Amino acid sequence: MTETFVYLDHSATTPVDERVFAAMKPYFSEVYGNPSSLHRQGQLAEAAVDNARELIAGILGCGTESIFFTACATESNNLVLQGCRLHSPGRYHILSTAVEHASVIEPLRMMQADADIELTLLPLDKGGKATAAGLEGCMGDPPDLVSVIYGNNEIGTINPITQIGAFLREYPSLLHTDAVQTANFLKLRVDDLQVDFLSLSAHKFYGPKGVGILYARDPSTLEPVLLGGGQESGVRPGTHNVPLIVGAATALKLAQDECHSETGRLSPMRDWIIERVIAEIPGAYLTGDPVERLPHHVSFAFADLDSNELLAALDLQGFACSSGSACKVGDPEPSSALLSIGFTEELAKGALRITLGRGTTKKQLGEFVDTLIEVVERLRARETA
């Protein structure tokens, strides 16, 4: 084992920023009341949740009545898809894409068992990007709900959500976007994006794990999926996780304040890796859009390589990366997102995702690319031996 440890998996999760941790800390053991309690301890906790909601509403440019706290973005996505459907029984048409996060794909798959629900998949370009033109072709039967990911976790592509939102204004369709990957880099003003629902997860922007945010322009279009004590206006009952909610708001404020500077710092490093790897490793292909791309996100498909072996070899050298999908050791299924945008099964099995973050330096990336070149050569030589 080497001493090196370089974390290049920021799309999977990020460390909690120390400023966020400091803001959360008092709410574990000093202000520990239940915000629903009437006594002073409860009121202090309630004030913290109210302040967090106001801060987030200010950042997104909406009213506090549109902000809901959940346990994760997986829950936010499920609540939108299932909650909208529950609100509109009878025939229901959903338009989405083949490259959504599993927390959208899986509820859609389940809902397809309902004969009244029709699912249409939006055509995507080679980079996995939805276009307003492709959307136009799907409007013969206007969907009730459109769900399109903003920044793709696996292939890094940024979708033109503003244009999609503008296009949909003429239709009764509601628009949801999973914006989890974009909070560190793109402004999230919901009126600019023209979305009706937006999902976020604090642990993707240097906040704590286990807290999600849901923006719902008109919450009355959403039935609750959980039933209980009526918290969050009944849209999402369950005792508020006060420290995590405080952490989510603090982290979102920092991430959005720093989004332009982080974009400026990381995108040249991203492009540098892409250029070197494509030039120096034969059989390496960039996945996703080369230009409309998250500033921290690099993803490849390698010929004649197995993702899991590559990840294990890189980990031994001290580099933490990902294959980009939920594909785990022992689960050699190729990514359905890569297959859907035209990669062969063989190439899709050689996926590698490198995602940079606040702690990433140019020096680390130089060492990383040198190691990657060496590891790829070694693994391929073994394969043909």
Known catalytic residue: 321? Answer: no
Altogether, the residues listed in the chain come to a count of 385
CB of 99 to ligand PLP, least distance (A): 10
Which one of 24, 55, 57, 73 is in contact with ligand PLP (CB under 6 A)? 73
Quote the DSSP letter at residue 217. Answer: S
Q: How far apart are CA 156 and CA 58, in angstroms?
A: 27
178 binds ligand PLP, rule: CB under 6 A: yes
The answer to whether 153 contacts ligand PLP (rule: CB under 6 A) is: yes
Q: Which run of H or of E encompasses 126? A: none
Half-sphere exposure for 83 (CA within 13 Å, toward CB): 24
CA separation (Å) from 292 to 50, 174, 267?
A: 36, 24, 11
Query: Does 289 contact ligand PLP by CB under 6 A?
Result: no
Q: How far is the CB of 57 from ligand PLP (least distance, A)?
A: 20
Euclidean distance between the first and the last CA atom of the chain, given in angstroms as a whole number: 25
Piece of the chain touching ligand PLP by CB under 6 A; list 134-142, 173-181, 271-279, 282-290 = 173-181
CA angle at residue 187 from 241 to 335, to 5 degrees? 75
Catalytic residue among 62, 72, 259, 327: 327
Check binding of 180 to ligand PLP (CB under 6 A).
yes
User: Which residues partner with 158 through β-bridges?
Assistant: 151
Binder of ligand PLP out of 66, 159, 173, 201 (CB under 6 A): 201
Closer to ligand PLP by Cβ: residue 209 or 276: 209
Question: Which residues lie across from 121 on neighbouring strands?
Answer: 96
Residues of span 99-128 touching ligand PLP by CB under 6 A: 101, 103
Q: Is residue 204 at the binding interface for ligand PLP, with CB under 6 A as the rule?
A: yes
Q: Which two tokens stand for residue 155?
A: 């292939």
Query: Where in the sequence numbering do the catalytic residues fall?
Result: 327
List contacts with ligand PLP (CB under 6 A).
Answer: 11, 72-74, 101, 103, 149, 153, 178, 180-181, 201, 204, 212
